[in-house]
Chain A
C-alpha cells in the first residue's frame, strides 16, 4: 500500500528524538523570528532547520516541499515588488517595469516565513511516525477518539485511493467514457465518486462494530505498547527551545531588538 505519510524510519538522530521535542523545536523556530522582527533571524532559523535535515539525511526529501512553494513565492515577489502599496524607492528597472525596495522587503518577509515554517514542519513530518505522535499525545490526555480519527486517516485514505482505480475500470466497462472533453469528464464525476463515498459510509458502520468488539468503548485507561525514550538530548533541545523564546520576548520587551 502506498502510504500518504511522508515518514520513513532512516534511523537518524531526528527519528530518535521524542515527538514532543520536535514540537517544542517547531514552536520556537516559528515564533522566534516573528517576535524578533528582524529578517536575519529567519536566516538563522532556516539555517538550523536545513542543517538538521542535512545531518539526518532528509534534506533531499524536503526539497519537493520547498520546490512546490517556490512558484507561489516567486509570484509574490514579482507582484509585491511592482505593486506593493508602500513602494517608494526604486531598486532596479527592467524597461518600463520597476521593482521597489519596500515591496521586495515585504515579500522577502512572507517568503522567508513560509520557507521557515516548511522546513521546520518538514523536520516533524519526515522524522515522526504519525501514529507515534498521536500515541504520545494520547498519553498526555489527548482524546483517544480524536486520536483514532487522526490515525485512521493515514490508513484509510490510501485504501480509498486504491478503490478509485477499480471503480473507474468498472464504470468504463459499462461504456462510460472518462477521457476527452470537459463535459465528458464532468459527467463521469458522479459515477466515479458515489461508489467511493457510499462504500466508505457503509464500511464505517462495520468499522464501528469492529472497534466496539475490540473494547474501544471500555471505560478504563488505555495502556500503550511503546514509549519513546526521552533522552538528555531531548531535554536539552526542549529547554533551549523554550529558553530562546523567553529570551527573545525579553529582548523585544526591553527594546534591545
Chain B
C-alpha cells in the first residue's frame, strides 16, 4: 500500500460551476519528493487541502472519490488526527501563525500542546527542530517581528515539531525575497535527507526540476501527467497549460540538446554535463546566450531615451535622526523602463517612496520634469506619479472591480465618463475585461494584484512605480506584466519596478539599478549589470539562470 492513495478525486467549491479537482488519481510512496505544477486555478492548493481533509471537512461542497493518508480516510478522519501524519505550510507565513504565542519557542510548541503531549517531550522536540532548521537563535523573538523568510522557517518548524510523515508546502516562497526563498529552499533541501515525504507546490520551475523525484502536472482540475521532471518539462504543451519551462530546458530546446533518454536536460548540472559529454562547440551556444532582450549595446538603448524625468541630486534621508540611510544619492531617470534590485533593507522601497512623495527627503534636490517636488503632497503628485503597492488588499475597498479602478481617476478630477473609459481600457490591458462587474474579493490574489495595477494605470500618470509586481503570478501573469511594461513604455511613460525576480528583470527592462545599504552600486543595461558578478555578490544577488549558465559554460 502506498503512503498516499488518491482515487478518482473530484471536488467542487460551494457555489462554483466548475470542478476544482476532476478525477485525480495518484499514489505517492514514502520518502518521495513530489512537485505539483500548474497555472493559478489549476487545483494545486485544492489538492493539498484534500490531502489534509480540509476538503471536504472544512470547505464544504461536492466531493467524490477518496484520499487515504497512511491508512486514514481524509473524508472521515478528524483533521486533528490527519495533521499528526501530514503537515501543511502555506504561502503567507503571517497567516499561519497561531496568533496566540508571543515567542518563536512557544509558537513551535503550540501544536504539540494541543495534542496533549508531555511538556518534557515538547521542550526537547522544540529544541530539536529549531536547531535542525537553524533558527534556535530566534527562540525568544516575537514571531511577528521576524522577516518573511525567517517566519516561513518558523512555520515549517511548527509543522515539523509534530513529527509528520508527510510535509506539504503550498508555494512556500511565493511571498518571499530571494534570500528568504533561498533560506526556505535550503531548509527543504536539508529535510529531504531525513527521509520525510515532501509534496511541494511551486511556480519556480527551476526549483521543482532540481528537487523533485516526480511532478504532478495539473490543469483545470485534471491531472495531465505524473512523471519525472525530465519528462514533464520536455513536453511541448507546457505553455498552453500555463507552466513555464526551466530556463535551462528552454535553452536546451532552442539548441536541440537532448539527453540519451530523449528528454531535455532540466537542471544546470544536467545541461552542462550533457554539453561536456557530447563535446559540442561552446562558442555558438555562448553567442545565443548573449542576446537577451534582443538589444546588445548600451548606445542602442540610450538612443531612444528622451529627456530626464526625475533628477535627484545629493539626496539625504534617514528614518531615525542620526542614522542616515541615503548619504547623498545622485540619479537621473529617463524614460527607459527601469528595474531596481537589491536586498531587503537596501533602500529600494524608500527611494521609490521618496519619488512618490510618501516620504520626504531630509535634504537634497528632487526635480520632476524641471519642477521641484520635494514639498508637494502625495495627493498632489497623484496625477504625475502612480504607485502600485505590493499587497492589493491594502487598497481594495469597493464591491465592484470597475468602481475600484475608477477610484483613483475620479480622485484626480477626471469626469465620470472619462474615468470609466480610462478604467475599462486599463482593465483590458491587464486582461480583466470580463471581471469589471465582479466583486474584487471573489478574485484570486493574482487577479487582485492585476486590479491594483489597473487602478493605477487608469489614472494615466506619467510615471508608474510597481512594487514586486510578479509575486503570486504564474507564467501567464508574468507575461501579462511584461506586456504592460512594454506598452506603457511605448506610450512614453516611465515604468519603475522593484523586483527580486532576476530572470524577469533581464527579460523586461532596459535599465537596472543595483542598490545595497542605501547606495547605488551599479546602473546600466541588464546584460552588463548581470555580468558584473563582483557587484552582484556585494549586493547579495544571484544572476538570472541564463547568466549562471553562461558562467558555467565559460569555465
Binding-face segment, B25-33, B82-90, B318-326: B82-90
Q: Contact: B99 with A213, CB < 8 Å?
A: no
Beta-carbon contacts under 8 Å, A139-189 to B: 148, 151-152, 154-156, 158-159, 163, 166-167, 169-178
Q: How far is the CA of A222 from the CA of B96 in the complex (A)?
A: 20
Contact partners of B144 in chain A: CB under 8 A: 1, 155, 158-159
Beta-carbon contacts under 8 Å, A191-226 to B: 191, 194-195, 198-199, 202-203, 206-225
Contact of B119 among A151, A170, A225 (CB under 8 A): A225
Contact partners of B387 in chain A: CB under 8 A: 173
Q: Contact: A173 with B116, CB < 8 Å?
A: no
Most central of A156, A210, A221 by chain B CB within 10 Å: A210
Q: How far is the CA of A166 from the CA of B92 in the complex (A)?
A: 18
Most central of A131, A220, A225 by chain B CB within 10 Å: A225
Q: How far is the CA of A151 from the CA of B107 in the complex (A)?
A: 13
B258 at the interface (CB under 8 A from A): no
Q: Contact: B412 with A170, CB < 8 Å?
A: no
Q: How far is the CA of A129 from the CA of B101 in the complex (A)?
A: 11
A190 at the interface (CB under 8 A from B): yes
Find the B residue at minimum CB distance from A215.
Answer: B114
With A170-B394, A173-B378, A174-B455 given, is the CB distance from A218 to B116 under 8 Å?
yes
B276 at the interface (CB under 8 A from A): no
Find the B residue at minimum CB distance from A190.
Answer: B397
Q: Contact: B391 with A166, CB < 8 Å?
A: yes
How many whole Å from A222's CB to the nearest CB in chain B?
Answer: 5
Beta-carbon contacts under 8 Å, A44-64 to B: none
Q: Contact: A210 with B95, CB < 8 Å?
A: yes
Q: Contact: B358 with A173, CB < 8 Å?
A: yes
Contact of B395 among A151, A167, A203, A217 (CB under 8 A): A167
Q: Contact: A177 with B358, CB < 8 Å?
A: no
Q: Contact: B408 with A175, CB < 8 Å?
A: yes
Q: How far is the CA of A173 from the CA of B452 in the complex (A)?
A: 12
Contact partners of A223 in chain B: CB under 8 A: 112-113, 116-119, 122
With A212-B54, A213-B54, A213-B83 given, is the CB distance from A198 to B396 under 8 Å?
yes
Q: How far is the CA of A163 from the CA of B144 in the complex (A)?
A: 13
Contact of A195 among B96, B158, B393 (CB under 8 A): B393
Q: Contact: B379 with A175, CB < 8 Å?
A: yes
Contact of A191 among B52, B54, B383, B397 (CB under 8 A): B397
Q: B51-91 toward A: CB 8 Å interface, digit per residue (1/0)?
A: 01010001000000000000000000011100110011010
Q: How far is the CA of A158 from the CA of B94 in the complex (A)?
A: 13
Find the B residue at minimum CB distance from A217.
Answer: B80
The number of residues on chain B lying at the interface, defined by a beta carbon within 8 Å of a beta carbon of chain A, is: 67
Q: How far is the CA of A211 from the CA of B95 in the complex (A)?
A: 10
Contact partners of B411 in chain A: CB under 8 A: 174-176
How many whole Å from B408's CB to the nearest CB in chain A?
Answer: 4
B198 at the interface (CB under 8 A from A): no
Q: How far is the CA of A209 from the CA of B90 in the complex (A)?
A: 10
Contact partners of A198 in chain B: CB under 8 A: 393, 396-397, 441
Contact partners of A202 in chain B: CB under 8 A: 393, 441
Contact of A203 among B95, B114, B378, B389 (CB under 8 A): B95
Beta-carbon contacts under 8 Å, B102-126 to A: 102, 106, 109-119, 122-123
Q: How far is the CA of A219 from the CA of B79 in the complex (A)?
A: 11
Q: Contact: A174 with B407, CB < 8 Å?
A: yes
Q: Contact: B88 with A213, CB < 8 Å?
A: yes
B21 at the interface (CB under 8 A from A): no
Contact partners of A148 in chain B: CB under 8 A: 100
Contact partners of B407 in chain A: CB under 8 A: 174, 176, 191
B459 at the interface (CB under 8 A from A): yes
Q: How far is the CA of A148 from the CA of B113 in the complex (A)?
A: 13
Q: B407-428 toward A: CB 8 Å interface, digit per residue (1/0)?
A: 1100110000000000000000
B382 at the interface (CB under 8 A from A): yes
Find the A residue at minimum CB distance from B111.
Answer: A214
Contact of B115 among A129, A213, A218 (CB under 8 A): A218
Q: How far is the CA of A158 from the CA of B159 in the complex (A)?
A: 25
Contact of B79 among A1, A171, A172, A212 (CB under 8 A): A212
B97 at the interface (CB under 8 A from A): yes
With A166-B394, A174-B395, A202-B441 given, is the CB distance from A225 to B115 under 8 Å?
no
B145 at the interface (CB under 8 A from A): yes
Q: B303-336 toward A: CB 8 Å interface, digit per residue (1/0)?
A: 0000000000000000000000000000000000
Q: Contact: B87 with A175, CB < 8 Å?
A: no
B200 at the interface (CB under 8 A from A): no
With A1-B144, A212-B54 given, is the CB distance from A177 to B102 under 8 Å?
no
B456 at the interface (CB under 8 A from A): yes
With A167-B394, A173-B378, A174-B411 given, is the CB distance from A216 to B80 under 8 Å?
yes
With A223-B113, A223-B118, A224-B119 given, is the CB distance from A155 to B102 under 8 Å?
yes
Q: Contact: A131 with B101, CB < 8 Å?
A: yes
Q: How far is the CA of A239 from the CA of B162 in the complex (A)?
A: 42
Contact partners of B116 in chain A: CB under 8 A: 218, 220-223
Contact partners of B119 in chain A: CB under 8 A: 223-225
How many whole Å from A223's CB to the nearest CB in chain B?
Answer: 5
Find the A residue at minimum CB distance from B164.
Answer: A213
Contact partners of A190 in chain B: CB under 8 A: 397
Q: How far is the CA of A211 from the CA of B101 in the complex (A)?
A: 12
Contact partners of A129 in chain B: CB under 8 A: 102
Contact partners of A199 in chain B: CB under 8 A: 393-394
Q: Contact: A214 with B158, CB < 8 Å?
A: yes
Q: How far is the CA of A171 from the CA of B382 in the complex (A)?
A: 10
Q: B146-186 toward A: CB 8 Å interface, digit per residue (1/0)?
A: 00000000000011001000000000000000000000000
Find the B residue at minimum CB distance from A169.
Answer: B358
Q: Contact: A195 with B397, CB < 8 Å?
A: yes
Most central of B100, B102, B353, B386 by chain A CB within 10 Å: B100
B131 at the interface (CB under 8 A from A): no
Q: Contact: B393 with A216, CB < 8 Å?
A: no
Q: Contact: A206 with B113, CB < 8 Å?
A: no
Find the B residue at minimum CB distance from A191.
Answer: B397
Q: What are some 19 contacts across the A-B interface (CB < 8 A)?
A: A1-B142, A131-B101, A131-B102, A131-B106, A158-B144, A171-B395, A173-B382, A173-B386, A174-B459, A202-B441, A203-B94, A203-B95, A210-B98, A212-B83, A215-B80, A218-B78, A219-B80, A222-B113, A223-B122
Known interface pairs A3-B102, A199-B394; 16 further A-B residue pairs with C-beta atoms within 8 A, sorted by A's residue number: A1-B142, A131-B102, A151-B100, A155-B102, A167-B395, A174-B382, A174-B407, A175-B411, A191-B397, A203-B94, A206-B96, A210-B95, A212-B80, A214-B159, A217-B78, A218-B114
**Closest A-B pairs by Cβ, 4 of them:** A175-B382, A175-B411, A194-B397, A215-B114
- Using CB atoms and an 8 Å cutoff, list the residues of chain B in contact with chain A: 49, 52, 54, 58, 78-80, 83-84, 87-88, 90, 92, 94-102, 106, 109-119, 122-123, 142, 144-145, 158-159, 162, 353, 356, 358, 377-379, 382-383, 386-387, 389, 391, 393-397, 407-408, 411-412, 441, 455-456, 459
